Amino acid sequence: MKIAFLGLGNMGFPMARNLANAGYDVTGYDVVESATQAIAEHNVTPADTARAAVEGANVVITMFPAGKHVLEAYQNELLAAAQPDTLFIDSSTIAVDDARRAAELAREAGHRALDAPVSGGTKGADQGTLTFMVGGDQADFEQAKPLFEVMGRKIVHTGESGTGQAAKIVNNMALAINTIGAAEAFSLGENLGLSHQTLYDVMSTSAAQSWAVSTNCPVPGPVPEAPSSNDYRPGFATALMAKDLNLAKSAIEATGTPADFGLAAFQAYTEFNTEDNAGKDFSAIIATKKKG
Ligand code: NAD
């Protein structure tokens, strides 16, 4: 198996490195030349062009910022440059419709396609502990599974093309709502005279328990390893949450789903995603719940 890995950013770089370190034959390419050169130190063969990376590969993995990058790269050169029946795996977080379109384009060009977005952040990418949500044919999923198992720990086949992206944005929408809920609870509790630790002890063991309370507690103190206890260093950055909620908003509108809280979360994170806050963990949104 020969793998082309395109998009060697915060996520793609360690994912490509982990594949190479597991013994796979990986060629890497990023439009940023320094990223392509740096991956050469990790057993990945650097390619001068996207075309050169893809030629001769039978699996092409992309890890780009957004849907437009995926669709443009597929249409402009990748699909035409690849040998017939190449398996295209896109792990970027993009809109469900873009993922379906990308898969359709790949199939029309005589290839196979999976959408395989991830959660787990840069730490998960680095340590090979990502969760993969994978949309596409069962046989293609089975072929790619050993690769996902190198880069991740939990691998879920979610159904047909686009369902991987659907799982990703639905999960993140619920996470955003949970986090705003936890933030409002801690602020209201504080205004009613409850200490953060007392409220944490109650909420983390009662019906309002959630990852947003127990693991990513939005107030500093109760969970020492949470971003809140470390100056809100991410974790999962506000800019990325705002991006994913924008995708959720499009999906809510396209499907006509009554999801007022999802739309409110989109609104709240869009407003919170200023230059100052974009790089902070998304639990920092509790700052907007303080009085005055
Ligand atoms: P990033 O911006 O660090 O990396 C993207 C890379 O793609 C960049 O290096 C860019 O130069 C490269 N690129 C863009 N177009 C290209 C092309 N046509 N050919 C080759 N390279 C190209 O972004 P990231 O943090 O690595 O995230 C990548 C994707 O993963 C995004 O969709 C993001 O939403 C998703 N994601 C990120 C995280 C995270 O914590 N960073 C977590 C889960 C999912």
The per-residue pLDDT for range 80-134, each reduced to its tens digit, is: 999 999 999 999 999 999 999 999 999 999 999 999 999 988 889 999 999 999 9
pLDDT, tens digit, for every residue of 206-265? Answer: 999 999 999 999 999 999 999 999 999 988 999 999 999 999 999 999 999 999 999 999
* HSE-CB of 37 using CA atoms within 13 angstroms: 3
How many angstroms separate the Cα of 42 from the Cα of each of 26, 50, 180, 238? 10, 19, 40, 30
The Cα–Cα gap between 270 and 29 comes to 32
Question: Looking at the predicted structure, is the pLDDT value of residue 292 above 80?
Answer: no
Please list the residues that pair with 45 across neighbouring strands. Answer: 27
HSE on the CB side for 167, CA within 13 Å?
21
CATH number at residue 135: 3.40.50.720
Average pLDDT, integer, range 43-55:
97
Q: How far, in Å, from the CA of 18 to the mean position of ligand 1?
A: 16
Q: For residue 69, report the distance from its CA to the centre of ligand 1, in Å.
A: 10
Containing H/E element for 55? Answer: none
Residue 50 in contact with residue 5, Cβ under 8 Å?
no
In angstroms, the CA 141 to CA 208 distance is 36
Q: Are residues 111 and 226 in the same domain?
A: no
Q: How many domains does the chain have?
A: 2
The protein residue with its alpha carbon nearest to ligand 1, atom 34, reads: 93
Q: Which tens digits make up the pLDDT trace of 147-162?
A: 999 999 999 999 999 9
What is the residue with the minimal CA distance to atom 1 of ligand 1? 9
Give the model's pLDDT for residue 79. 98
Does 22 lie in the same domain as 144? yes
Atom of ligand 1 nearest to the CA of 117: 44
Check whether residue 213 and residue 264 sit in a common domain: yes
What is this structure's pTM?
0.95
189 and 279 assigned to the same domain: yes
Whether residue 50 has its Cβ less than 6 Å from ligand 1: yes
Judge if 21 and 88 occupy the same domain. Answer: yes
Pairing of strands 130-135, 118-119: antiparallel
Residues 8 and 127 in one domain: yes
Domain boundary among 160, 189, 224: 160
Same domain for 193 and 260, yes or no, is yes
Reported as type and span, the H/E element at residue 253 is helix 238-255
> In this structure, what CATH number is given to the domain that contains residue 233?
1.10.1040.10
Kindly state if the Cβ of 220 falls inside 6 Å of ligand 1. Answer: no
36 and 90 part of one domain: yes
**Pick from 160, 194, 222: which residue ends a domain?**
160
**pLDDT (tens digit per residue) in 161-216:** 999 999 999 999 999 999 999 999 999 999 999 999 999 999 999 999 999 999 99
What local confidence, expressed as pLDDT, does residue 235 receive? 87
Look at residue 109 in the predicted model and tell me its pLDDT: 98
Please indicate, yes or no, whether residues 134 and 255 belong to a single structural domain of this protein: no
Give the domain extent around 283: 166-289
Q: Are residues 120 and 86 in the same domain?
A: yes
pLDDT at 290: 93
Query: In Å, how far are 64, 72, 172, 266, 290 from 287, measured between CA atoms?
Result: 31, 38, 20, 17, 6
C-beta of 56 in contact with ligand 1 (< 6 A): no
141 and 186 fall within a common domain: no
Quote ipTM for the complex. Answer: 0.99
Q: Which of 145, 168, 249, 291 is catalytic?
A: 168
pLDDT at position 12 over 80: yes
Cα 217 to Cα 79, 241, 277, 285, distances in angstroms:
44, 16, 18, 12
User: Where a domain ends, among 133, 160, 187?
Assistant: 160
Residues 116 and 196 in one domain: no
